[in-house]
Amino acid sequence: MEELEDKLEAIEEKIFGESTNRETTGEMYELKRTLLEMKRAVSPLTEICNRLMRLDLPLIREDIRPYYRDVSDHVSRINERVDTMRELLSTVLDANLSLISVSQSEAMKKLAAWAAIIAVPTMVAGIYGMNFQFMPELHWRFGYPMILGLTIAICGYLFFRFKRAEWL
Domains of the chain plus CATH, in order, are 2-164 (1.20.58.340)
Q: What is the mean pLDDT of residues 66-74?
A: 84
Q: What global pTM score does this model have?
A: 0.65
In whole angstroms, give the CA distance from residue 98 to residue 92. 10
Has residue 48 got a pLDDT over 90? no
pLDDT score of 103: 85
Summarised one tens digit per residue, pLDDT across range 36-47 is: 999 999 888 888
Please write down the long-range contacts of 2-8, taking CB distance under 8 Å and 24 or more positions apart: 4/31, 4/34, 4/35, 4/38, 4/85, 5/81, 5/85, 7/31, 8/85, 8/88, 8/89, 8/92
pLDDT tier at 149 (50, 70, 90 boundaries)?
very high
